[in-house]
Amino acid sequence: MEEDILTIEEVAKYLRVSDRTVYDWAQKGEIPAGKIGTVWRFKKNDIERWVNERLSSNSRENAANQIVQIRNILSPDRVIFINQSTKRDALVELSQNLSTAPQVKFPQELETEIIKREELMSTAIGRGIAIPHVRLSSVTDLVMSVGICKSPIIDFQTIDDVPVQILIMIAAAYNQHSYYLQTLSYLSSKLKNNEIRDALLKSSTPEEIYEMLVKE
């Protein structure tokens, strides 16, 4: 019996996600796929089995198991080095990077809400870290970007007077409250480790930073 072979576009339509999301999953080995020449192809039976397995596992797993899988919400192209000297400029640059994620539907709304959230209360958590974050109905799934500041940013209202050098920006769907809070908690806890923070600041490529953050 001949198996149906699907394209990225057909898989995206079947799963009701963007083409880019399917491409990212294939690149990371998160979805069963194979290359024919330079293009990705998918067996329909494998995709259906994969969907059923994910639906079953999601019903069993709690959000705490999800949040350790940073590779599901971060990719190397959403890790950048920031050369800005002010909080606002750094937030704008990182929000523009985060807006390249397919989960973010309205880039200007993200930027506006990130700035408004920061004006309401500083997202600096001490130790040179800030985690600006928002939940928006226009965001389809939780996603993040990371910015390493080449120069310390001194106009964040920090609790320990240490200038911010590590920025982690998170956008989540409005109905992801628990997952959102657990992600914030997980990252805050992870970055309390002095060795991890020092290594992030000494890294020379986005890929190095990405690998450190996804390592469990």
> Domain segments of the chain: what residues?
5-59, 70-214
As a whole number of angstroms, the distance between CA 201 and CA 178 comes to: 30
| Residues 6 or more apart in contact with residue 40 via CB below 8 angstroms | 7, 8, 22, 23, 26, 33, 34
As a whole number of angstroms, the distance between CA 138 and CA 84 comes to: 28
Q: What is the pLDDT of residues 137-160, one digit of tens each?
A: 999 999 999 999 999 999 998 888
pLDDT on residue 61: 47
Q: What is the pTM of this model?
A: 0.69
Phi/psi at 146 (5° precision) = -125, 135
Does the pLDDT of residue 64 top 60, yes or no? Answer: no
DSSP H or E stretch at residue 112: helix 107-120
In 154-216, which ranges are E strands?
164-173
Does the pLDDT of residue 111 top 70, yes or no? Answer: yes
Q: What is the pLDDT of residues 6-27, one digit of tens each?
A: 999 999 888 878 898 999 899 8
Neighbour tally for 170: CB within 10 Å: 23
Residue-by-residue DSSP string for 61-101: --HHHHHT-GGGT--GGGEEEE--SSHHHHHHHHHHHHTTS
As a whole number of angstroms, the distance between CA 148 and CA 200 comes to: 8
**70-214 CATH fold:** Mannitol-specific EII; Chain A (3.40.930)
Greater confidence (60 vs 32) lies with: 32
Does the pLDDT of residue 81 top 80, yes or no? Answer: yes
In 123-190, which ranges are E strands?
124-126, 129-130, 133-136, 143-153, 164-173
The CA-atom distances, in angstroms, between 183 and each of 135, 166, 197 are: 13, 16, 18
Domain 5-59 has CATH 1.10.1660.10: yes
